Structure formats: structure tokens, C-alpha cells
């Protein structure tokens, strides 16, 4: 094997791969990066057998071959080199990297020991990178990080005639986003569960690569999804299981609807958070006479109460208590100028939404407060 | 075809044996990566073939196991099982998959309309999640209580969007002999829509509860099948929609809307009589729905054979289902309705008061009106609920609510005579035959009660009778009406024909 490429390009590619390389795998080949050079295309792959990334690097192939290179060593040594042209050549199982000032040799493993990537057939769904970013920012944070309920660590993607519906929930709050542009013409409804982490990773790669279009290919049989971001392909294991009945906990109507200023609400919440932190993050919202009181108390340190003017669109006065973290998550994800808040009784799920975003819902379960 | 599935224990045992063998043959890393996480989960013997299912956690595992170790694995499994085996590679946790299979099986067999509804059967438990989150006291979004309360909210909203009144449910419907048949049929239909009585045709006079029952059917169906497509429309709306659709050349949308309904509730269907293109459209909608066992409920103020200008083919179809006549509410039923409505309106009416009102008011709709005026008198004017207040309200209310009769004494006499099939001259005359006096008294009563003519004037029309005779007749009829429902019904029927003049 012999090839030439730029250090800048190689480092960028390795930066994407190295985070999924497992630390101490039982099978040592898994800590390698597969380098495949053929017909003027150079690709690098890594996998922990649950997630896989394959990415292409620009360069010149002089003599094609494939080899599995120890990942960490490869990444770290290339990263420290100066930018410029690199020459990679292979003799037996030894890779030699030559730069202007350095020569590195690494002992490698045969390429055929490296695990094969599953083959996904079928048509890819095309997605704007913006949409992926919206999914990530607006829904991603609602998913659970608790590995004991794997289903909730996933985002639900539901394609049907009305578009793509994305849902994320951790069992206490739930976010849904409807992307109506993505209609499933065949009319059949498909649902998949993609790990929120993988979506996050895809969104990150898309930002780094400045991608416009993203392809999504799903293989139900293999329980695998492939996200194509320009030259990079992300292989993700779909999560198996039954997603909670999210449709059943989104109220169809609310008795109270108010609008409030996003910035002001955020600063009020942050102030309330100081005391709430001591008492399971509970903050109480009282809506009365066109005002909202934000109250938090800590048994040990005291309490605070803030008031802000709100616009009551309809409904009556009310009181409700939330985990302030859930509200702050929502605000920091959207930075909304205006927030619409909807509620029924103080123990029923309530809804937040940036006033402008009709296609988005953030449902939060309130606290039961005895006072 | 005989197929035999191995028991779990037997499968487990075979796998352990195979593992022991494979561990010896393979390197540590290969064994722990490619064998251990991909267990044997099923062995099925079918017509001499043995199919072993290997379950992998991901597509990577499955792909590589098959290509790198497939032959090896097959050999070992064959030797353990004692017969050549075929390997079936599967991905995902076996329990989740089995669940899905059984679910898709029964969801496909039931119906296709509840597509977003079939993931609710087994709720994942949340106890484990609870231990890990920092907010132990936040109620779970997916708790049974939360789901139930939101479901109720959703049903109410759907009902509202469909146009059903929220207070028209079976719970608020008082049943007595005059409407028990209709009530029983309505409940049966709402429990098994499309299967028991299709179409259900309810007819009866004003304020007997046709619309109430129809709304109640809608509510009950929504409660059990939240995703059912229920359409509620009145004959008039139906007509207007067709006219609009024709005008805007969007009949296709109209057809689509009505012919995909699961339940069609059409109120006051008599309005479509005489309108040919409307009847035509309704006829086709009707056929399309009944063919697919979709429930249709219709109400009318008279039975199909009395709806003039109704096409015969349509009439015969309406008559093909169950037709039920709802009678005017009896005194007892009116009292019961009054008590139910007063409870809903939060007016503590005692039974004696209720009886008093029921005796003076003939339809359920008027009871609502009386209660409203009572409520406003109590809440806005701060008056106390007494017999006097009720008396006062009844006086004014009864006048306002009765349909205005725009005729003269001659008109009343004619209508009454027609109603009883008597000659006008006989009714006005002197004969004291029982049949005649009754009709005469009724006519006098209506002249006084509705036309507000002076007694003396009325007397003059009836062969110059004295005003005290008229007064006597008036009181007598009033008394009978309050006790005897059949006469009350006759009088209100006569009033109906008079108000139509």
C-alpha cells in the first residue's frame, strides 16, 4: 500500500472516529481503525459493534490495500504532526508514516479481521441538516440518559402521511417536533427508535462538516440505521422495544393559556433555582390577575418570590409546580423570545412552547405540592 | 405440518454445551465478542429440519458472526443437537420481538384505523427509572392516572370538535316508559356500533330527547374508541355542505369526508326531504357506510313514511333498520329530568318544587329554559328559591317559550275540529256529546291560553256562551293536562299545527 494525503484531512477524519473506539475491547481488533485504500478513495472505519462510523478522506492512492491500525496510537500520532503532506506506506503488517520532519512506524493487524459493517439496502430518506439540528436542539435533550430504560434513551421517529414526528421523553417531560416537509408518500406509518446519543453525534458531525443534506436509511431486519452525512456514514443500532404511548398524555385542550417573555422568565427561573436546588428543584408558578409569581423555598435557607407580568390569552387563575431543571432545559434549548404556557389542573400535564413554533410541544408533568 | 419447539431449558442446556465446546476452540476475544453475546434462543424441529435461532444484539454482531463463524457455529450446534441444523440469525431482544409479533398479529386482525393506538397494551414499568432520577416526587407522565386524565381531556375535545354537547351523555339521560326502548337501542348501538341496529332511526316531537340520545351515542363510542371517526351533522348542515361543495366544485372532498366516517350521526333528517341532489348524495353515503358496517344514527320529527317528498328507495332503506318512536315525556319523567338538570345547574330544587314545574311544562327543552331563568334570578338578582319564585318564573317563561300562534279564534276552532275529526259547526254548537264537549273545551282553552282573548269574546264564538262557561272549561282543561299526559300531548300537538299556520 502506498498513499499520500494531507495531515489536516486525516486528523479531521480521525477526530470523528476516535470517540467511538472502545477502550479495552475483548476483541483487540475493535480498538483499531480500518484503513481502506482502493481506486482513488481512502476510507477509515471504526466500530464498537453497536455504533460504527465510516468516513472518506481525500488523498491520492498510489497502491491500493487495506489494514487495521491501532486507533489511539494512530489518532494521537497524526494529531501531533504538523500540517502538510503525509505519505503512508505498508510493508507486511507495518505501516510507515512519513511527514516532512517525522517518520512513524506502527505495527498493524490484518484488515480481514476487522468486523464487517452490515449492508443496508433500500431508499434513503433525505433530511435537511437544519432539521437534524432542530431535532437535536429541541427534542434531543428530553430523552433519558438512564440505561435501565433503553427505550427512553431513544428518540422516536415516526414517518407518515403528515410528515416526520420526532418524540423524546424521559418519563417526566416530553418533547415532540413535527416536520411536515417530510411526508411519507406511500402513506404507511413507520416508527423507529434511534438512540438520542447517535442523533447527537450525527448533528455534531453535520455541523463540523457544514453539511446541507443528510440521508437516513433504515433496515428493520438488521435493526440498524445508517445516517449519511456527506462523506461520513454513521451506523446506528436501532433500539428495540415499545415506546410509551406518547399520544395519550398530550392533552388536546387546556383551560389556561398565557404568554410570557422568554428572557424574563429565564432570569426568574435562575433566581428561583438558587433556593429550589435545596428542595428537589421544586418551583411553584402562581398565575393571578395577569401576573405570574415564581416561588421557590428551601427548608434550610429561606425562600424567594419573583413576579412577572404575563399576557393571559384565556382561562382562569392557577397554580402549578415544576422541576425547574425541566423548564431551564427547555429555555436553554430554544432561547425563545416569547413562551406560550398552557395548563389544566395543577396535577395534569402542562405544555410549554416557543410562541412562534406551532409544530413543537413540550409537555411537563407537574409536581404535587402540599402547602 | 408438525413442528416442535424446544423448551427454554432444553435450548439453554444445548447452548451451554455448545458454548463449552466453542470456548475451547476459539480464542478468548473471539469467544467473548462473537459467541457469548449472541445466544441460541430457539430450536424448532419441523419436518425433519432443525432450525436454530441465534439472537444478536446488533447488526454488526449478526453480520460478522454469520460471515466469520457461521460454518463453525453450525457444525458445533449440529453436533450438540445431534442433527444437521440451519441457523436463523435474528437481531434484538427476543422478548421484545415476540411481543411485537403478537401485537402486529392482533392489530392487523382487528382494524387498521387505530394505528397510533396499538402501542399502549403493555406499559413499561417505571419503578426502575424512579430510583435513578433526582426528582423522586414528580409524577410520572405515563402513569395510569395521568394517561386516564389526559384521555378524558382528549375525548372531550374530540367530542367538542365533532359538535357534540358535553352534557348530552347517557348519565344525564332520564329514562322512563316513554323513551326506554330508544335508550336501550342507543346504548346497544354505542356498545357495538355497526353491528346491532343499523341504521338506528329515532323519531319524536320537540324536546323528547332525540338529540340527547344521539350525542350520548357519540360520546360513548368516543370513550371506547377514541380514534373512531365520528361525524355529527344536522340535516340542514348536511344540505348546506352539499350546496357549498357543488358551488365550489369540491364534492369530492365532501364525499371523502362522509364516506370515510366510522359513525354518522345525522340529526333532523327530515330536512333533506324534497331536495333531490341532497337525497341522492345521502343515499350514496348511506349505502357506502352500511356496506362497510359503519353505524348510522338518524333522528327526525316523524317516521320515514310520514316524511313527504322522501324518495322511495331512501325511505325503504331508513325503514330497514330499527325505528323507535320517543313519546312526549310523562309527568314523572319530566320531574326526573328536572331533578337531573337542576343538579347539573347547581340549583337545589326540592321534589315538590320539581313536581310543580313538571306539571306546568310539557317538554324537556322548556325545563331547561325555566331552570335558566331560575338560576339567573337566584344568582344575579339574589332571590331565594321559593314556590313563589317558581310560580312567577313559570308565568313569564311559559308565555315566552311557547311558539307564537298567529291565528284567530276561527283558526283555532278549525284546527281543533280537524284534529278530532269533527265538524266545526258541531264544535261551536250546543250538543253535549262527550266527544264534542271535550274538543270544545280544548278549543276554548287554547283560545284563552295562547290567543289571550277575553272569556266573553271566546264565549261569543261558541254559540254565545257565557264567560263563566269558558272560564270553567279553561280551568278544567288546565287541571286535566297537569295530570293526564295524553291530553297534554294532544294539546301540544294541536299547538304545533297551529304554530305552523
Closest CA to A17 of A48, A53, A51, A67: A53
Level-2 CATH architecture, domain B409-499: Orthogonal Bundle (1.10)
Tell me: pLDDT of B110 over 50. no
pLDDT band of residue A181 (cuts 50, 70, 90) is confident
Closest CA to A295 of A315, A322, A313: A322
Average pLDDT over residues B89-118: 49
Name every chain B residue with its beta carbon within 8 A of the beta carbon of A242: 96, 99-100, 119, 122, 124
Q: How many residues does chain A have?
A: 371
Q: Say if residue B199 is preceded by a cis peptide, omega within 30 of 0.
A: yes
Closest CA to A59 of A15, A17, A12: A12
* Interface residue of B88, B98, B138, B158 to substitute, partner A, most A CBs within 10 Å: B138
Q: Considering chain B, what is the average pLDDT of its residues?
A: 81
B244 grid coordinates: 357549498
Q: How far is B492 from chain A (nearest CA, A)?
A: 42
The pLDDT tens digits of the residues spanning A123-179 come to 778 888 888 888 998 999 999 988 888 899 999 999 888 888 999 999 889 999 998
Tell me: pLDDT of B133 over 50. no
Q: Given CB atoms, is A172 within the 8 Å cutoff of chain B?
A: yes
- State whether residue B303 is helix, strand or coil: coil
Tell me: pLDDT of B257 over 70. yes
Question: Does the beta-carbon distance from B142 to A349 stay under 8 Å?
Answer: no
What per-residue confidence (pLDDT) applies to B116?
A: 39
Count of Cβ atoms closer than 10 Å to residue B195 Cβ: 11
Q: Considering chain A, what is the average pLDDT of its residues?
A: 89
What per-residue confidence (pLDDT) applies to A70?
A: 93
* Interface residue of A115, A174, A364 to substitute, partner B, most B CBs within 10 Å: A115
Q: How far is A235 from chain B (nearest CA, A)?
A: 9
* Domains of chain B, residue spans: 3-94, 161-326, 333-401, 409-499
Closest CA to B245 of B209, B194, B202, B280: B280
Higher pLDDT, A250 or B1: A250
Q: Helix, strand, coil % (nearest 5) of chain A?
A: 25, 45, 30
Average pLDDT over residues B46-60: 86
Closest CA to A113 of A22, A21, A31, A223: A31
Percent of chain A's residues with pLDDT above 70: 98
What per-residue confidence (pLDDT) applies to B97?
A: 47
The pLDDT tens digits of the residues spanning A210-242 come to 888 888 888 878 888 999 998 899 999 888 888
pLDDT band of residue B94 (cuts 50, 70, 90) is low
* Dihedral in degrees, nearest 10, Cα atoms B192, B193, B197, B198: -160
Which residues 191-230 in chain A show a CB within 8 A of chain B? 219, 221-224
Higher pLDDT, B111 or B97: B97
What per-residue confidence (pLDDT) applies to B128?
A: 37
Higher pLDDT, B260 or B380: B260
Average pLDDT over residues A296-318: 88
What per-residue confidence (pLDDT) applies to B398?
A: 56
What per-residue confidence (pLDDT) applies to A87?
A: 92
Q: DSSP secondary structure string, A9-77?
A: HHHHHHHHHHTTS-SS-SSGGGGEEEEEEETTEEEEEEE-SSEEEEEEE--EEEE-EEEEEEHHHHHHH
Four-residue CA torsion sign, B240, B243, B247, B249: positive
Question: Does the beta-carbon distance from A223 to B59 stay under 8 Å?
Answer: yes
What per-residue confidence (pLDDT) applies to B117?
A: 39
Tell me: pLDDT of B49 over 70. yes
What per-residue confidence (pLDDT) applies to B93?
A: 66
Level-2 CATH architecture, domain B3-94: 2-Layer Sandwich (3.30)
Task: Could you please state the CATH topology (level 3) that the domain comprising B161-326 is classified under.
Answer: Rossmann fold (3.40.50)
What per-residue confidence (pLDDT) applies to B134?
A: 40
Closest CA to A129 of A205, A33, A64: A205
Asked whether the beta carbons of A357 and A333 are under 8 A apart, the reply is no
* Closest alpha carbon within chain A to B66: A116
The pLDDT tens digits of the residues spanning A53-108 come to 999 999 999 999 899 999 999 999 999 999 999 999 998 889 999 998 899 999 99
- Main-chain phi, psi angles of B214, to 5 degrees: -65, -45
The pLDDT tens digits of the residues spanning B434-476 come to 888 889 999 999 888 888 888 888 888 888 888 888 999 998 8
- State whether residue A187 is helix, strand or coil: coil
| Structural domains of chain A sorted by starting position, each given as residue range(s) with its CATH number in brackets | 2-113 (3.10.150.10), 125-247 (3.10.150.10), 251-364 (3.10.150.10)
What per-residue confidence (pLDDT) applies to B33?
A: 87
What per-residue confidence (pLDDT) applies to A368?
A: 79
Q: Given CB atoms, is A274 within the 8 Å cutoff of chain B?
A: no
Asked whether the beta carbons of B354 and B335 are under 8 A apart, the reply is yes
Closest CA to B168 of B107, B119, B210, B223: B210
Tell me: pLDDT of A363 over 90. yes
Closest CA to A216 of A129, A317, A148, A304: A129
Q: Which residues, including other chains, have CB under 8 Å from residue B228's CB and lie 6 or more apart? A: B113, B193, B221, B222, B262, B263
Question: Does the beta-carbon distance from A347 to B64 stay under 8 Å?
Answer: no
What per-residue confidence (pLDDT) applies to B101?
A: 46
Q: Name which of A30, A151, A349 is nearest B141 (Cβ-Cβ).
A: A349
Amino acid at each position: 500500500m502506498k498513499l499520500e494525503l494531507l495531515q489536516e484531512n486525516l486528523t479531521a477524519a480521525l477526530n470523528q472516529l476516535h470517540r467511538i473506539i472502545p477502550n479495552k475491547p475483548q476483541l483487540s481488533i475493535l480498538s483499531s481503525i480500518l484503513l481502506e485504500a482502493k481506486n482513488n478513495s481512502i476510507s477509515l472505519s471504526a466500530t464498537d459493534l453497536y455504533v460504527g462510523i465510516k468516513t472518506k478522506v481525500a488523498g491520492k492512492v498510489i497502491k491500493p490495500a487495506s489494514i487495521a491500525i491501532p486507533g489511539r496510537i494512530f489518532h494521537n500520532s497524526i494529531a501531533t504532526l504538523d500540517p502538510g503532506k503525509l505519505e503512508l506506506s505498508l510493508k507486511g503488517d507495518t505501516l510507515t508514516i512519513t511527514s516532512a520532519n517525522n517518520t512513524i512506524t506502527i505495527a498493524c493487524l490484518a484488515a480481514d479481521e476487522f468486523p464487517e459493517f452490515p449492508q443496508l439496502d433500500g431508499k434513503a430518506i433525505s433530511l435537511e441538516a437544519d432539521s437534524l439540528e432542530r431535532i437535536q436542539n429541541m427534542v434531543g435533550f428530553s430523552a433519558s440518559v438512564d440505561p435501565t430504560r433503553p427505550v427512553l434513551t431513544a428518540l422516536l421517529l415516526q414517518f407518515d402521511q403528515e410528515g416526520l414526528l420526532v418524540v423524546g421523553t424521559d418519563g417526566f417531560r416530553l418533547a415532540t417536533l413535527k416536520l411536515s416537509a417530510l411526508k411519507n408518500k406511500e402513506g404507511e406509518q413507520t416508527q423507529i427508535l434511534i438512540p438520542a446519543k447517535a442523533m447527537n453525534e450525527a448533528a455534531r458531525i453535520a455541523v463540523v462538516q457544514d453539511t446541507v443534506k443528510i440521508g437516513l436509511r433504515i433496515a428493520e431486519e438488521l435493526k440498524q440505521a445508517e445516517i449519511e452525512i456527506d462523506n461520513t456514514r454513521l451506523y446506528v443500532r436501532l433500539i428495540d422495544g415499545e415506546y410509551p404511548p406518547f399520544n395519550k398524555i398530550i392533552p388536546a385542550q387546556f383551560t389556561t393559556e398565557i404568554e410570557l417573555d422568554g428572557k424574563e422568565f429565564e432570569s426568574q427561573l435562575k433566581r428561583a433555582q438558587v433556593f429550589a436546588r435545596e428542595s428537589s428543584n421544586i418551583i411553584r408558578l402562581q398565575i393571578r390577575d395577569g401576573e405570574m409569581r415564581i416561588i421557590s423555598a428551601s427548608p434550610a435557607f429561606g425562600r424567594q418570590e419573583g413576579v412577572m407580568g404575563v399576557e393571559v390569552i384565556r382561562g382562569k387563575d392557577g397554580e402549578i409546580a415544576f422541576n425547574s431543571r425541566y423548564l431551564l432545559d427547555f429555555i436553554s434549548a430554544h432561547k425563545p423570545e416569547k413562551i406560550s404556557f398552557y395548563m389544566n389542573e395543577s396535577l395534569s400535564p402542562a405544555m410549554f412552547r416557543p410562541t412562534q413554533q406551532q409544530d413543537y410541544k413540550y409537555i411537563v408533568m407537574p409536581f404535587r405540592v402540599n402547602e | 405440518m408438525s413442528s416442535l419447539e424446544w423448551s427454554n431449558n432444553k435450548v439453554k442446556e444445548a447452548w451451554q454445551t455448545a458454548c463449552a465446546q466453542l470456548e475451547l476452540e476459539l480464542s478468548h476475544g473471539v469467544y467473548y465478542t462473537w459467541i457469548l453475546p449472541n445466544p441460541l434462543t430457539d430450536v424448532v424441529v419441523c419436518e425433519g429440519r432443525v432450525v436454530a435461532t441465534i439472537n444478536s444484539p446488533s447488526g454488526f454482531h449478526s453480520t460478522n458472526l454469520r460471515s466469520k463463524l457461521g460454518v463453525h457455529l453450525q457444525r458445533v450446534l449440529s453436533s450438540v443437537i445431534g442433527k444437521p441444523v440451519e441457523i436463523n440469525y435474528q437481531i434484538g431482544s427476543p422478548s421484545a420481538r415476540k411481543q411485537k409479533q403478537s401485537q402486529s398479529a392482533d392489530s392487523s386482525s382487528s382494524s387498521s384505523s387505530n394505528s397510533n393506538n396499538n402501542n399502549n397494551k403493555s406499559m413499561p414499568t417505571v419503578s426502575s427509572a424512579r430510583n435513578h432520577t433526582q426528582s423522586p416526587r414528580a409524577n410520572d407522565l405515563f402513569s395510569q392516572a395521568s394517561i386516564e386524565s389526559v384521555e378524558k381531556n382528549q375525548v372531550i375535545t374530540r367530542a367538542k370538535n365533532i359538535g357534540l354537547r358535553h352534557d348530552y351523555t347517557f348519565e344525564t339521560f332520564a329514562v322512563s316508559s316513554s323513551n326506554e326502548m330508544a335508550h336501550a337501542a342507543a346504548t346497544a348501538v354505542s356498545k357495538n356500533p355497526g353491528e346491532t341496529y343499523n341504521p338506528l332511526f329515532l323519531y319524536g316531537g320537540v324536546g323528547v330527547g332525540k338529540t340527547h340520545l344521539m350525542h350520548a351515542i357519540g360520546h360513548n363510542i368516543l370513550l371506547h374508541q377514541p380514534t373512531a371517526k365520528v361525524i355529527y351533522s344536522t340535516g340542514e348542515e348536511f344540505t348546506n355542505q352539499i350546496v357549498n361543495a357543488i358551488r365550489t366544485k369540491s364534492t369530492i372532498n365532501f364525499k371523502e369526508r362522509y364516506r370515510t366516517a366510522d359513525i354518522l350521526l345525522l340529526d333532523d333528517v327530515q330536512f333533506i326531504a324534497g331536495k333531490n341532489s341532497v337525497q341522492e348524495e345521502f343515499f350514496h353515503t348511506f349505502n357506502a357506510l352500511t356496506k362497510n358496517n359503519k353505524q348510522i344514527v338518524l333522528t327526525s320529527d316523524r317516521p320515514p313514511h310520514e316524511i313527504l317528498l322522501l324518495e322511495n328507495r331512501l325511505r325503504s332503506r331508513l325503514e330497514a333498520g330499527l325505528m323507535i318512536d320517543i313519546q312526549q315525556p310523562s309527568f314523572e319523567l319530566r320531574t326526573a329530568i328536572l331533578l337531573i338538570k337542576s343538579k347539573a345547574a347547581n340549583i337545589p330544587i326540592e321534589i315538590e318544587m320539581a313536581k310543580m314545574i313538571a306539571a306546568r311544562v310539557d317538554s324537556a327543552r322548556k325545563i331547561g329554559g325555566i331552570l335558566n331563568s331560575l338560576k339567573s334570578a337566584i344568582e344575579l338578582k339574589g332571590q331565594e328559591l321559593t314556590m313563589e319564585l317558581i310560580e312567577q318564573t313559570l308565568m313569564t317563561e311559559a308565555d315566552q317559550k311557547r311558539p307564537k300562534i298567529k291565528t284567530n279564534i276561527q283558526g283555532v276552532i278549525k284546527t281543533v275540529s280537524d284534529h278530532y275529526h269533527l265538524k266545526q259547526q258541531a264544535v261551536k254548537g250546543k250538543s253535549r256529546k262527550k266527544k264534542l264537549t271535550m274538543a270544545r273545551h280544548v278549543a276554548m282553552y287554547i283560545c284563552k291560553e295562547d290567543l289571550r282573548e277575553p272569556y266573553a269574546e271566546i264565549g261569543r264564538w261558541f254559540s254565545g256562551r257565557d264567560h263563566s262557561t269558558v272560564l270553567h272549561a279553561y280551568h278544567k282543561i288546565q287541571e286535566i293536562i297537569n295530570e293526564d299526559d295524553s291530553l297534554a300531548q294532544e294539546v301540544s300537538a294541536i299547538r304545533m299545527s297551529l304554530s305552523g299556520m
